[in-house]
Chains A and B, each alone.
Chain A
């Protein structure tokens, strides 16, 4: 690895980046369609899907980016996702009328094979073990 490369998008971390990228594309594309087609039916669920999609995009870029700033951005994005999937997942079970239309995070990401629930946990473990080196700006 050259010294210009990111300290995080290496080895298993690259698999994480790829899974994030696929989820980001899937969630964003789907929410753009939903908002364009039937936003009035479920503004809350569809807005949340769009927000989730954007946060997945940010997380993907932040995992690839190098240096301390991207490291912090990655933390914020991934923790936000974990809170989002837990909150919306719980609400969609307790108060189903709020989320009659599918969002990425409904029932803890059931529609996406629970990947939205597993991914932030893996992301946090990865970030913990790959802090930026002391010299990295």
Chain B
């Protein structure tokens, strides 16, 4: 599938060579397959978040349980820029979107300086603890974040584009604006993966001691990988804020950290499209079943366990290896 991939999948060579193109095509037709555009929007926002998580987990083999801090941080940064910065309406939406990845990367840098000293279960625990700290900070700083009421008034009605302005309230035009941003993020992600830095990440993941003996500064590569991962998670958080029109404190919740793990493993860790597919599965199950039964998390849990037991490469990983 790719060198980021844990396994070299023999199938689908076209998809492998034109990942970004295939991704764009999927983004283009997704609203046609979805029962309503808002569901498609949900899928791509969470898909982007899972991709960011996978850059760290699939790329470097580091299991973070604290990505909610990066996602939530991006969401708050976007919301605060939009509601507080008082920027002119031509600039505000773009500044707000840019604030997401910047905040995500900045928080990742702080977390990473502490967390990347550890590995394995310790890395998971340190990221978890730091994300809980971030949650507490957000909860207490109610002047900025609205505390438990959430940050309200993240209202974006029109987005100025060269020549015309886009109606952000229309579900379909909203979807396509966010999809264009996700497509750009996909292109950047593919670039990172194919770059020498992507190769260095794979080397560190495969054999840390060997990579160090080759001359790679393992600590720096881990930190940079974490920061990049935070950038993608933060961007996803910003899109989430724009989509909802509010940043609830739940954006920083432990549950969001868990979602990244579930989506990525369900879809296929270390594959390019896997996390996105996993996110789509979780979002669809959640929205469709929550209307029928309040016990829907039971099904997601059962599916997750079944996947780990019987398809350890995830849905996409298994399909692509065929």
A and B from one complex: no
